[in-house]
Amino acid sequence: MSHTDNIDFLCGNVSADENGHLLFAGQDTAALAREYGTPLYLMDEERIRERCRTYIKGLKDAFGDKGQALFASKAASFKRIYEIMREEGMGIDVVSSGEICTALKAGFPLSKAYFHSNNKTDADIAYAIKNGIGHFVVDNREELYAIDKEAENQGIRQRIMLRITPGIDPHTFAEVATGKVDSKFGSAIETGQAEEMVKIALSLENITLSGFHCHVGSQVFDSDVFLRAADVMLDFIADIKEKFGFSPEKLDLGGGYGVRYKAEDPHIDIYDNILQVGAFVKEKVAKLGIDMPEISLEPGRSIVADAGMTLYTVGTVKKIPEFINYVSVDGGMTDNVRFAMYGAPYTLFAAEKLNEKADMECSVVGRCCESGDIIQENVMMPESICRGDILACLTTGAYNYSMASNYNKIPRPPIVMLNEGKSYVAVRRETIEDLTMYDV
Ligand code: LLP
């Protein structure tokens, strides 16, 4: 048994070869780092497709023709991903004109897109309608009126869903919990605002109400959360049917399934979870005597997170005796702001030193002028770690590229896709020249 047999690589697409090199989607990560340079985002295309298929199959097996899988594209928004979603038959959730434009450039059929956000601008609304957005997921009353007005201007009748706040605490970190009554998102059932929204929506002439949406939070491990959300939403639907005689065509239960960032994180069997949701919904619909709506889920993280990995080159290694060791890399909060924002956990490896014992505790930090520019604390690295070594940070496919910045005028890394033993660039590396592109 070799030393690497004991390492938990989190996801089946990560492994080690006999030389102690880290492999991703079967490819040598250090060799990729040398070929494409660092920092570098890698994405495993096969894994993304496999995840889409799990959701599509799960929803089909749970709901037959009444199941629909959408990708929450805020998790990773670039042209190639929308092409993959189109090819896999996924719908998408978008939150800005920028995401819509990117999807359009990939030839994504906008009729399968749902436009979220708690504050769509008038320009967003006009742009989305002009390009044939399938649905708006309307957050609040001002937005209802604004969409109705713009639909009238453009001479169409616009389909919408209403974002409802079910009043559920998903037990995840506060920044990504969205289902509680005091959330900035949606209209709460508890306050009567949700009902008020239905009333207005049904009265407006240029709008067709297709159904309801909720999303309770992100990085959720407790499978019960989706059942509780479905429970509250179906009760709401029954109540609305009684009060207004309105039966929604659609119910979207949002995204949120958690992924493994660390060895101690549990595995979630998504297919199994969807079947549980299916059984629960069918039973409850029958009990309430309401029509079965089309059910959709809109995962982001669980589609792309472990399909991603970031590679860095080590620069300075600073050992402060009796205090702390710092291993600095050539990226940082500009390509991964999640530790700085949420204290998010990550697992890192020295990509060519997996055969060495990792017994030096350190903080892996970035190159920005900011003490909070930390990728991860309490990381175990081999004592020999030094300038020029390649470090890999796992599970970076969700919300890393999409939240990247140019702080300190640092160019953003490229995205290189891996598929069937080959690699190709999906997003090219920014150059320092690109960084003055908008300066006049
Ligand atoms: N649907 C809606 C309406 C959402 O707001 C979100 C995520 C999703 C679906 C997808 O959730 P997921 O399956 O990815 O958990 N920047 C944070 C995550 C923010 C999540 C925002 N909404 C992070 O880096 O963890």
For 200, 219, 357, 373, 376, the CA distances from 340, given in Å and listed in that order, are 41, 17, 28, 6, 9
Residue nearest to atom 19 of ligand 1 (CA): 176
Average pLDDT over residues 336-347: 97
Residue of 54, 259, 301 with the most ligand 1 atoms within 8 Å of its CB, for mutation: 301
**Does the beta carbon of 302 sit less than 6 angstroms from any atom of ligand 1?**
yes
Ligand 1 centroid from CA 72, angstroms: 7
Q: Tell me the Ramachandran region of residue 373: left when phi exceeds 0, alpha when psi lies from -120 to 50, beta otherwise.
A: beta
**Does the beta carbon of 373 sit less than 6 angstroms from any atom of ligand 1?**
no
Q: Which one is predicted more confidently, 56 or 5?
A: 56
Separation of alpha carbons 312 and 14, rounded Å = 17
Ligand 1 centroid from CA 349, angstroms: 27
pLDDT for 157: 98
Model's pTM, two decimal places? 0.96
Average pLDDT over residues 121-137: 98
pLDDT for 175: 62
pLDDT for 246 beyond 70: yes
**Does the beta carbon of 135 sit less than 6 angstroms from any atom of ligand 1?**
no
Ligand 1 centroid from CA 325, angstroms: 33
Residue of 51, 74, 395 with the most ligand 1 atoms within 8 Å of its CB, for mutation: 74
Q: What is the DSSP letter of 267?
A: P
Here the tokens at position 279 are 């059984």
Q: Which atom of ligand 1 is nearest to the CA of 178?
A: 5
Amino acid 297 reads L
The band of 180, judged by pLDDT with boundaries at 50, 70 and 90, is low
Q: Is 386 a catalytic residue?
A: no
Residue nearest to atom 24 of ligand 1 (CA): 399
- Asked if residues 209 and 201 have their Cβ atoms less than 8 Å apart, the reply is yes
Separation of alpha carbons 171 and 126, rounded Å = 37
pLDDT for 1 beyond 60: no
Ligand 1 centroid from CA 256, angstroms: 6
Of the residues 52, 214, 369, 393, only one is catalytic, namely: 369
Residue 324 makes CB contacts below 8 A (sequence gap 6+) with 362, 363
**Does the beta carbon of 261 sit less than 6 angstroms from any atom of ligand 1?**
no
pLDDT for 245: 97
Q: Which atom of ligand 1 is nearest to the CA of 302?
A: 13
Average pLDDT over residues 84-109: 98
Here the tokens at position 143 are 């937005």
The band of 172, judged by pLDDT with boundaries at 50, 70 and 90, is low
Mean of the per-residue pLDDT values of the chain = 95
Residue nearest to atom 7 of ligand 1 (CA): 218
Ligand 1 centroid from CA 299, angstroms: 8
Residue 409 makes CB contacts below 8 A (sequence gap 6+) with 432, 435
pLDDT for 171: 66
Residue nearest to atom 21 of ligand 1 (CA): 176
Residue 155 makes CB contacts below 8 A (sequence gap 6+) with none
Here the tokens at position 251 are 């119910």
pLDDT for 181: 72
SS3 428: coil
CATH of domain 3-44+306-436: 2.40.37.10
Average pLDDT over residues 100-115: 98
Domain map (residue ranges) of the chain: 3-44+306-436, 116-299
The band of 5, judged by pLDDT with boundaries at 50, 70 and 90, is confident
**Does the beta carbon of 429 sit less than 6 angstroms from any atom of ligand 1?**
no
Separation of alpha carbons 395 and 138, rounded Å = 32
**Does the beta carbon of 80 sit less than 6 angstroms from any atom of ligand 1?**
no
**Does the beta carbon of 255 sit less than 6 angstroms from any atom of ligand 1?**
yes
Ligand 1 centroid from CA 176, angstroms: 7
Fold of 116-299: TIM Barrel (3.20.20)
| Structure-token match 């007005």, residue found | 149
pLDDT for 125: 98
| Structure-token match 């289902």, residue found | 179
Average pLDDT over residues 265-285: 96
The band of 179, judged by pLDDT with boundaries at 50, 70 and 90, is low
